[in-house]
Amino acid sequence: MTSYQDLGLTPIINATGAVTRLGGAPMPPAVLEAFCEGAGQWVPLEQLQAAAGRRIAELTGTEAGLVTAGSAASLTLGTAAILCGFDLGRIERLPHCDDFPCEFVIAREQRSGYDHAVRAAGARFVEVGFNEIVSNAGVRRTEAWEYEAAFTENTAGVFYGYGHDSQPPLPEVIERAHRHGLPVLVDAAGELPPKRNLSEIAALGADLVGFSGGKAIRGPQSTGILCGRRDLVASAAIQMLDMDDHLNLWDPPPELVDREKLDGLPRHGIGRILKVSKEEVLALMTALELFSSGAYDAEWSEQHARLETIASGLSGRPATCTIEGSIEAERSPTLSIAIDEEALGRTAFDVCRGLRNGTPPVYVGHGRLAQGTLVINPLCMSDDQAPELSRRIGEELGG
């Protein structure tokens, strides 16, 4: 077996949680077993995706589901489905869509690096709203009427980035879109937990919703979920799955693809670059069962104890430690370490850099460095790493 060390890498202490840059969430033993089991046997991918999709549909309260290569892949596939439906010519032409409607309306304030996944399918954004609050020029955020005013014959759909504070509210956007027969694609990649979001976002009427499989669900880092309308999920499936078969033999499960709707067999679609392996599907489905049954909730107290160990090791240092979060939030508790930069004579950026370059390398949450604060998330740490982490931070804080 080749190890990270064989390749010249030193494994880090990951105190950031399930971030993609550092490899995502820890996979529970049952998920790893499913991966290994799945790798030793062979099944037709269409049948596997249909079966996984049935269970995803149950758990999300939607018509259909698909295991994708991450939530970003769900966005590309969902966009491709909305652009093409079952039109074989369009499926073949993507990402070029000059001769059919390809515009997605998006709130300017919901633009993010992840929307490249929508544009990758060929869609073009039409932005609405203004960043008035950020620019100190006003007090209002994007409003639902602005979407409707932007709809034209070139509009294909609406893209919505879901968050607890997203504006305008998703139901208002859906109402405006559906009034014009336009579908709404929702990015909910990071909106789990809470578990109820698995079904509640789709229940608002979204046509397609994408989730990450490698964040809170704790499946393989390279997996995700697309769920929603049966016809759209079917279109996404045929644009992702390998199509190297004969039309007169091709026999996809009818709940995945209604063959009658197709005029022939498409060639590999734009989603063929986003393939998911059989063992990844099995591992994700195992993780999804664990997540949705609340199996991870039991770890909260252990995680909290890890943070207490770290905080107590830092007493006397020029920093204020605060543990945040509650078990009801269904999220890992976090420890914020607010550094007295003046007393220390170093900034939080300096400390963060020192931790990354130390032995062992330590990566902490870096979202609040500008405010002088390090954030510790215990999800990807082991119990014996807590004292080590505390020691390293203590050293950087002048111990």
Which chain residues interact with ligand PLP by CB under 6 A? 20, 70-72, 114, 187, 189-190, 212, 214, 224
Count the Cβ atoms, other than its own, within 10 Å of residue 235. 29
- CA torsion angle 149 153 156 158 (round to 10): 0
Nearer to ligand PLP, 168 or 220 (CB): 220
**Using alpha carbons only, how large is the chain's radius of gyration in Å?**
23
DSSP helix, strand, coil percent of the chain (3-state; round to 5): 40, 15, 45
Nearer to ligand PLP, 192 or 389 (CB): 192
What's the per-residue H, E or C state across 176-233?
HHHHCCCCEEEECCCCCCCCCHHHHHHHCCCCEEEEECCCCCCCCCCCEEEEECHHHH
The distance of closest approach from Cβ of residue 279 to ligand PLP in the complex, given in angstroms and rounded to an integer, is 17
Q: Are 20 and 214 in contact (CB under 8 A)?
A: yes
The distance of closest approach from Cβ of residue 176 to ligand PLP in the complex, given in angstroms and rounded to an integer, is 22
The distance of closest approach from Cβ of residue 215 to ligand PLP in the complex, given in angstroms and rounded to an integer, is 6
The distance of closest approach from Cβ of residue 282 to ligand PLP in the complex, given in angstroms and rounded to an integer, is 18
Using Cβ positions, the residue closest to ligand PLP within the complex turns out to be: 70
Q: Are 75 and 227 in contact (CB under 8 A)?
A: no
Count the Cβ atoms, other than its own, within 10 Å of residue 276. 26
The distance of closest approach from Cβ of residue 386 to ligand PLP in the complex, given in angstroms and rounded to an integer, is 26
Please state, in angstroms and rounded to a whole number, the distance separating the CA atoms of residues 393 and 398: 9
Nearer to ligand PLP, 105 or 217 (CB): 217
Sign of CA dihedral 68, 72, 73, 79: positive
Nearer to ligand PLP, 159 or 296 (CB): 159
Nearer to ligand PLP, 18 or 91 (CB): 18
Nearer to ligand PLP, 221 or 390 (CB): 221
Please state, in angstroms and rounded to a whole number, the distance separating the CA atoms of residues 353 and 197: 36
The distance of closest approach from Cβ of residue 154 to ligand PLP in the complex, given in angstroms and rounded to an integer, is 25
Nearer to ligand PLP, 220 or 266 (CB): 220
Q: Are 186 and 201 in contact (CB under 8 A)?
A: yes
CA distances from 274 to 92, 103, 123 (A): 16, 22, 17
The distance of closest approach from Cβ of residue 160 to ligand PLP in the complex, given in angstroms and rounded to an integer, is 11
